[in-house]
Amino acid sequence: MTDSDLVIDVRGLTKIYGDKRVVDNFDLAVPKGAVYGFLGPNGSGKTTTIRMVCGLLKASAGSGTCLGFDVITQSDEIKANVGYMTQKFSLWEDMTIRENLDFVAQMYDISDRSHRVSKALEGLGLEARSHQLAGSLSGGWKQRLALAACMIHDPKLLLLDEPTAGVDPKARRDFWDSIHDLADQGITILVSTHYMDEAMQCDFIAYIAYGKKLIDAPSAEIPARVGLHTWRVEGKKLREIARALKKNPAIEQVARFGTALHISSRDEIALQKAIAPWQNDTLLKWSKKEAGLEEAFIHLMTSAKDNFS
């Protein structure tokens, strides 16, 4: 991949408030047309990083480009070409859907406003509700309106900060269908989330905790890079097994997944030895499985160091 293929290419981005490094030496390279996920718990630095990338917040250190513009000195040019959707609904609740979109189009000085607004309404299925006040919309419909407003000026890059927080599962699925449709049109999308099922829909994932990037790779490659071996067990003695194995230093992770327990370690031989005493129990059902994204991220989070401790 050449530099010209990258929509975002930043190195060493750091943000310091007082004596705290909220984001510490962050590198990121995002190719054109990718859906790139930022996964991490609340307070991990995802929002701060996104704001530095799109020019809304000046980095304390670091350098790089976004859409070919310098993230330190050309923030105005970046903002003009980016659609940014915040966690909290930030449009005007006492205006209709159409009025909101028309007002946003005016702010971007779009000449063919009426046509562009109609196109945005149609693209996200908002035509039938165009005269409804934004304040009366459900979370899912507010989300669609916010996305339409982000797209009104035809940005090349979308930055979505926890876009599905507080909406129901169906609205989340519909939203992600829209995201993939946009990516198919060549729009690059950087999205932060703490939902594992959403991260799995991304082409690439950067996992961030306590201001540090722990891993950054194509989503399908992350479990193998972490290197965990995992066994799954179902039955009636899961609490007993969990208590015992959590005391074993060779076991790196014991996690409940629905009615099963997943037991993981990077040492396959030590893992096999640890679970051997229970494997002949007829009340238990054991199966070896490939470690998935969730096991990988639980492992990464466990090993992360809190930058506010």
Look over the chain and give the mean of its residue pLDDT values, rounded to a whole number.
88
By three-state DSSP, how is residue 200 classified? Answer: coil
Q: Which residues contact 256 (CB under 8 A, 6 or more apart)?
A: 238, 242, 262
| Across 173-183, average pLDDT | 88
Rounded-to-integer distance, Cα 78 and Cα 66, Å: 7
| Across 242-251, average pLDDT | 93
Which fold does the domain 228-290 belong to in CATH?
A: Alpha-Beta Plaits (3.30.70)
Q: Within the chain, where are the H helices?
A: 46-53, 75-80, 97-107, 113-123, 139-151, 169-184, 196-199, 222-226, 238-246, 268-275, 293-303
Question: Is the confidence at residue 303, as pLDDT, over 70?
Answer: no
Question: Is the confidence at residue 308, as pLDDT, over 60?
Answer: no
CATH architecture for segment(s) 33-54+75-209: 3-Layer(aba) Sandwich (3.40)
Rounded-to-integer distance, Cα 38 and Cα 46, Å: 7
Rounded-to-integer distance, Cα 83 and Cα 222, Å: 28
**What residues does 10 pair with on adjacent strands?**
28, 64
Rounded-to-integer distance, Cα 72 and Cα 7, Å: 16
| Across 265-281, average pLDDT | 93
What was the pLDDT predicted at 306?
A: 54
Q: What is the pLDDT of residues 142-172, one digit of tens each?
A: 888 988 999 999 899 999 888 877 777 888 8
Domain residue ranges in the chain:
33-54+75-209, 228-290
Q: What is the pLDDT of residues 58-112, one digit of tens each?
A: 999 999 999 999 999 999 999 889 998 887 778 899 999 999 899 999 998 898 8
Instruction: Give which of 153, 164, 142, 45 is closest to 90, Cα–Cα.
Output: 142
What was the pLDDT predicted at 187?
A: 93
Q: What is the pLDDT of residues 16-55, one digit of tens each?
A: 999 889 999 999 999 999 999 988 877 888 889 988 988 8
By three-state DSSP, how is residue 163 classified? Answer: coil
What was the pLDDT predicted at 133?
A: 94
- The terminus-to-terminus CA distance of the chain in angstroms comes to 39
Instruction: Give which of 149, 141, 102, 104 is closest to 125, Cα–Cα.
Output: 141
In the chain, the percentage of residues whose pLDDT exceeds 90 is 48
Q: Supply 257's token pair.
A: 């997944």
Rounded-to-integer distance, Cα 65 and Cα 8, Å: 6
Q: What is the pLDDT of residues 109-145, one digit of tens each?
A: 898 889 989 988 988 888 889 999 999 988 888 888 9
Q: Per residue in 189-201, is it b (16+ CB within 10 Å) or e — as a string?
A: bbbbbbeeebbeb
Going by DSSP bridges, is the β-strand pair 212-218/188-193 parallel, antiparallel, or unpaired?
unpaired
What was the pLDDT predicted at 305?
A: 57
Crossing angle (nearest 10°) for helices 113-123 and 97-107: 130
Backbone angles phi and psi of 149, in degrees to 5: -65, -35
Instruction: Give which of 204, 154, 229, 155 is closest to 35, Cα–Cα.
Output: 204
Query: What does the radius of gyration of the chain's CA atoms come to, in whole angstroms?
Result: 22
Instruction: Give which of 17, 75, 11 is closest to 216, Cα–Cα.
Output: 11
What was the pLDDT predicted at 309?
A: 46
What was the pLDDT predicted at 4?
A: 63
Global pTM?
A: 0.81
DSSP letter, residue 96:
B
Q: What is the pLDDT of residues 191-245, one digit of tens each?
A: 988 777 788 889 999 988 888 888 899 988 888 888 889 999 999 889 999 999 9
